[in-house]
Amino acid sequence: MSDGWFIDRGGERYGPYSEDQLREFARGGTLGASDQVWNPATSAWQAAGQVPGLVATAAPGSFAAPPPAPGTAVGGGAQGVGIGPRFVATLIDLILLGVFIAVIVGAFGDTTTTTGDDSFSAEFDLGTGPTLLISIGVFAYYWLMEAFLGATVGKLVVGLRVRTLDGGPVGLGQAAIRTVLRIVDGLFFYLVAALVVAATPKNQRIGDLAAKTVVVRR
């Protein structure tokens, strides 16, 4: 059983919790066999009593809400992480993308130099094709990584995930919205994103607000 579990009780969702926390809830009677649980490795919500390893410890039924884990909001909905971890993740992503762009520029860029008696000038031309390749590559990196893995490489290294407001995985549409709005969030080296994250209750940037997503610890 993996970490990153969520609990649904009467439409209210809690989490994420680790495997050890689920077992503790079950032993203490705050997690019942009929309570619905889910994590990214499962295909659908299922009763706690159907999860291997919890059957022996889960009580027949319970209605007490488990205590909130760090980074969660009581009453359902995840509380997003703050600026610090997200900045580190963003920096890692920018370094990786910088390497990708440098490779394209080095392979396809063309520099023309002109010299005179007392002058020297240089012009650099990348061309439409390589420029389009860079744009598509950057977009695909954020879009597909977050849609299929829930995180970019930077977020994976720091231990973050992008989730819907109810704790579920994001879809292609939501990941696309987040990626497109990086154009705005990324202004002034992501200063716009930092200000919005600091000002919103769930620490969401503009892309999160539009896509109804939140960045949480995995």
Full domain range(s) for residue 29: 1-73
86, 108 contact by CB (below 8 A) = no
My answer on whether 104 and 28 are in the same domain is no
Q: Are residues 116 and 213 in the same domain?
A: yes
Query: Model confidence over 22-56: pLDDT tens digits?
Result: 888 777 777 777 778 888 777 778 888 788 777 55
| Residue that finishes a domain, picked among 53, 73, 93 | 73
Contact 168, 217 (CB under 8 A): no
CB 6 within 8 A of CB 161: no
Number of domains in the chain: 2
Domain membership of residue 156 (yes or no) is yes
Do 69 and 133 lie in one domain? The reply is no
Give domain status of residue 78, yes or no: no
| Final residue in a domain of this structure, among 43, 73, 103 | 73
CB atoms within 10 A of CB 36: 16
The last residue of one of the domains, among 18, 46, 73, is 73
Full-prediction pTM beyond 0.85?
no
CA distance 165 to 161: 12
CATH number of the domain bearing residue 41: 3.30.1490
Model confidence pLDDT, tens digit, residues 158-204: 999 999 987 888 999 999 999 999 999 999 999 999 999 999 988 99
